[in-house]
Structure 1
Amino acid sequence: MKLTVHTFVTLDNVMQGPGGREEDTSGGFEFGGWLVPYVDDDFGRLVDAWFAEADAILLGRTTYEMFQPYWEQVTDPGDAVAAALNSLPKYVVSNTISNPTWTNTSVLSGNFLEAIDDLKSGPGRELQVHGSHQLARALHDAGLVDEYRVIVFPLVLGQGKRLFDNGAVPSAFTLAGSKTTAAGAVHLTLLPTAFGAGELEVGEFEVREGREQIKE
């Protein structure tokens, strides 16, 4: 399966608490629900399309514990997100959850990166990560992510958990697709480049014969 990471971020890369005031107040976060004013039909179509490609869901413990009580309540058969989350196989990375009650959930503990690598080698289309700040970072640093789907919203919060924060493995990406919603959010599909983990192609400019050029 292809491992894909899906997240919503602000211009300053904050991904914390997009969906509600009390969704995640850890660290004194004050701006929960920042995404909601930008939700429109375009946004809904993008997110529905994400879940239409999923054959399994991978979540960190905190996101799992936020998702379960909310999405188990959504029984509308026309809700593509709820239908996927409530029916598909789910894997939660945790050393504290032992008896998950959400249908079709398995717990990955201990060497979870090795377990995830094994899942990737199995049959299926996509193993999708949603939210899951710490897990997404660990997968990035381990070079296990095959594709990122990021929706960037036009606001700055100045606080909160970031998708890529200090210490993240330096990486470059290829833009495989982009769309803009009517509300002004930008959807990016990003593929890791062929460079190895921690490797970047860099360069510099110089002036030659009065012209600024890329230095060879």
Structure 2
Amino acid sequence: MGRIEIHEFISLDGVYENPSWTAEFPFDPRMGEAIARLTGPGSELLLGRRTYEMFAPAWSARTDDDDPGASFFNGARKNVVSSTLKDPEWNNSRVLGRYDADAVRRLRDEVEGSLYVSGSGTLVRALLRDGLVDGLHLFVFPVVLGAGERLFTDEAVSGLRLAETEAYDSGVVHLAYSQG
């Protein structure tokens, strides 16, 4: 049985949308190592449609020379939760249809590694609501944006337990939670 591992870059005020604002902070290699642990052997991507549509053109053109994560993003199977996406062109992509918690549970049971989720706020909120998150990895950047889509809305999330923390010289903090 696999795991659902979520990775988000988030501001102090909870914004995850368009994380181009992270560029002003040096990328610590230890942060890359933490993210790489989520995308190990047998892992697949689980994405919402909007994130998939942003990732596909960005990652499909990258090589490992550009970014060490390129081989994972381009080689892994990409499972897209969407009721509107048809015929995805990025290799190894398939559309799962609209969100269905039972279908996600079955998919998690089929995966040897993890289902890696990045971005995909609507999907993440549904997974948290349904108690399907094994690991929630928040990389909290020391910036308050004041506007933008927030990961956590008015819906309550319960059962999160702090599993790990790591601080980087840039001021970014990795908070790892388990749910359940």
Q: Do the two structures share a fold, i.e. TM-score over 0.5?
A: yes
CA contact (8 A) 1:10 1:152 kept: yes
Structure number with higher relative contact order (C-alpha < 8 Å, ≥ 6 residues apart) = 2
RMSD value, Cα: 1.7
Q: How far 1:103 moved relative to its partner? A: 0.6
1:66 aligns with 2:54: yes
Q: How far off is 1:70 after superposition?
A: 0.7
Q: Which residue of 2 aligns with 1:190?
A: 177
Change (3 A) 1:151 1:114: same
Q: Which amino acid aligns with 2:97?
A: S
Kindly provide the amino acid, as one letter, of the partner of residue 80 in structure 1.
P
Query: Hey, what's the Cα distance between the residues in 1 that align with 2:42 and 2:167?
Result: 23
Question: Quick one: distance in 2 between partners of 1:9 and 1:110?
Answer: 26
Question: How many residues matched?
Answer: 178
Q: How many Å separate the matches in 2 of 1:111 and 1:182?
A: 38
Tell me the alpha carbon deviations over residues 28-64 of structure 1, each in whole angstroms, 9 at most, x when there is no partner: xxxxx21111132333333333323661100000000
Cα 1:128–1:137 change in 2 (3 A) is same
TM-score normalised by L of structure 2: 0.91
Residue matched to 2:70: 82
- Specify the alignment match of 1:11 in structure 2: 12
Distance 1:162 1:53, change over 3 A: farther
What is the alpha-carbon distance in structure 1 between the residues aligned to residue 44 and residue 33 of structure 2?
Answer: 20
77, 94, 106: which one pairs with 1:106? Answer: 94
In the TM superposition, what are the counterparts of 1:159-174 in structure 2 within 5 Å? 159-166=147-154, 168-174=155-161
Contact 1:52 1:80 in 2 (8 A): no
Q: Determine the C-alpha separation between the residues in 2 that align with 1:53 and 1:175.
A: 25
Deviations 1:136-193 (A, max 9, x none): 1111111111111110011111111111111x23314221111111101000110124
Report the Cα distance in structure 2 between the residues aligned to 1:122 and 1:169, rounded to whole angstroms. 29
User: Where does structure 1 differ by over 6 angstroms across 4 or more consecutive aligned residues?
Assistant: none
The two structures have a TM-score, normalised by structure 1, of 0.77
Partners of 2:130 and 2:159 in 1: CA distance: 14
Q: How does 1:12-51 map to 2 (within 5 A)?
A: 12-18=13-19, 33-42=20-29, 43-51=31-39
CA contact (8 A) 2:162 2:177 kept: yes
Q: Which has the larger radius of gyration?
A: 1
